[in-house]
Structures are given as structure tokens and as C-alpha cells.
Amino acid sequence: MKHLKISPLLPLVVIFSYLTHNMIPFFITYLSLLFHEAIHLFFLCNEKIVVRKILLEPFGICIQTENKPPDSLTVYLSAPVANLLISLVIWLIQSYRPFPCAEYFFFSNLFLGLFNLIPCLPLDGGRALEIYFSKKYDKTTAKQKMRLLSLSLSSAIFASGLWLLWYTKYQYSLILIGIFLLYSCLCQNKLTLCQTIGETAKRQEQTDFSGSRPICYLGARWNLPAQKIIRNFQGDQYYIVHVIKDGKIIKTVTETQILTKILTCDGTLLLSQC
């Protein structure tokens, strides 16, 4: 681990919790979060994965690794399962010998465990399901399925939050969860695109054209964003794209030309502009 950073918003949330007399619930919830991430760190180290940065945020802890995300189900599922086990232990202890703040510990761990098991990126359940999809389908199909599933679940949770707010007139927590997941989905899509472009660029540098690589021909409409078609590129093939308008091929561009244009252009780039 090279860096441990604290979000500037975290002290503000701590002060707000203190002023609103919610310091104990906040402290217990954050303690549960720390336990959750400690389990992740343990299994990341066990998998020999180098942690580059840990960011302490107001409502969570972000762990960034040196290389690509791990493809181990244990890394992702261990933490939420541990939270559920902790909540079970607290419930059993509380049944025989009650202790202060037991209810806070129970619900914080129960919520963290169940919430992170939702099969939606970037939650642990979504990461685990993506690993399963990648073993059952090719890499591109797996990513497409997870993007669609994550967006659908996030939208459903947000819509449920709107209904709950309308029904109760005060309960808005589900809306906040939906907004968080929708925002995370958008960030995840951008991150996936950047990773795909980076992998494509790296593959371009390492390609030895003295040998051979299968060539794949694709047809795409002229107004399709170039960033979108990059998502369909796989590492074991070289792509040539026929740009189609009104049923006719108006130009043909290579993977190299598309990538070069994307890297030198700001904003959305259409295939016809490559």
C-alpha cells in the first residue's frame, strides 16, 4: 500500500454527525465499513494483489489496486458474508445478554452485507456476478450484460424510492441509494471505456505484425460513437470497420485509426469522423 488518503468531506460529515447528535450511529456504521474493507484487504494480500491507494470517504472506503481488478470470487464475497455473520453473532449475543449499541451494530452489519450482495456494479455482488459471466461468456458479452443489469437494477431501486417517498411522505433513503448506484454505473461505464481504450492502445504497441493475428470485419452505422464500438474489440483480433450510411459503405477504418482519433479528440467522436 502506497497511499492512504482521507476525503475532505469526511471531517465535515463527522462534525455534522456530532452537531446533530448522531455521532454514535455514524461511528458504529463506519466501524462496520472498516471491518468490511479489512476483510477485502486481507484477501487481496492473500491473492498477492498490490493495493495502490485507500481513500476514506464519508459513506464508504475505496480501495484501488495496481493492476486490473481481481477475478477471485473470494475477494468480493468474503466481506459481505463476514458482515452478515457478524450481525448473526450480535443477534445471538443480544438474545442472551443485551449490551449497549447492539442494535446499531446489528443493523449496520446486516445492511452492509445485504446491500453489497446486490448484483449491481460496482458493489461486491456485481463484481462477483461479472466474474461468473466472464467465465460463461466472452469478455465483451460479460461486460455488456453487467452494464445492462446494473443500470436496470439501479433504475428499479430509484423508482422504488420515488414510490416509497410518495407513499410515506418522508422516507427518502431508497432514493439516495438509487442515485448512488446510478451515478456509480455511469462512472463504471466511463472507467470500463478507459480500460478498454488503454488495453487496445497497449495491444497496438505490443503487436508484432511480422506474425499474424486474425482480422475481424465489422459493419457499423456512420453516426455510431467511436467510443461505443471500441467496447466490442477483443484482444485476440485486429478490427476493420466498414462505416455504413443509407445502406452503403462510405469508408473503411482500422482499429488503429479509430484509437488514434479517440485519443486525440475531446468529446463524442462519430465513426464517420475517424
- Asked if 200 and 219 sit in the same domain, the reply is no
Distances (CA, A) of 104 to 69, 94, 130, 267: 32, 12, 32, 46
For residue 126, being part of any structural domain is answered with: no
- Asked if 194 and 144 sit in the same domain, the reply is yes
- Asked if 83 and 4 sit in the same domain, the reply is yes
Burial class (CB in 10 A: 0-12, 13-18, 19+), 21: exposed
Question: 227 with 263: CB under 8 angstroms?
Answer: no
Domain total in the chain:
3
Cell of 99: 449490551
- Asked if 69 and 16 sit in the same domain, the reply is yes
- Domain extent, residue 190, equals 134-206
pLDDT in tens, the chain (274 residues): 457 777 777 788 778 777 877 788 878 888 888 888 888 888 887 877 777 777 777 666 777 776 566 677 888 889 899 999 999 998 888 888 877 778 888 888 998 899 889 888 888 888 888 888 888 876 667 777 888 888 888 888 888 888 888 888 777 777 877 887 887 777 666 555 555 555 555 555 455 444 556 777 788 888 887 777 776 676 567 778 888 888 788 888 887 777 777 666 665 677 777 7
DSSP 60: E
- Asked if 113 and 22 sit in the same domain, the reply is yes
For residue 122, being part of any structural domain is answered with: no
- Asked if 64 and 151 sit in the same domain, the reply is no
- Asked if 104 and 202 sit in the same domain, the reply is no
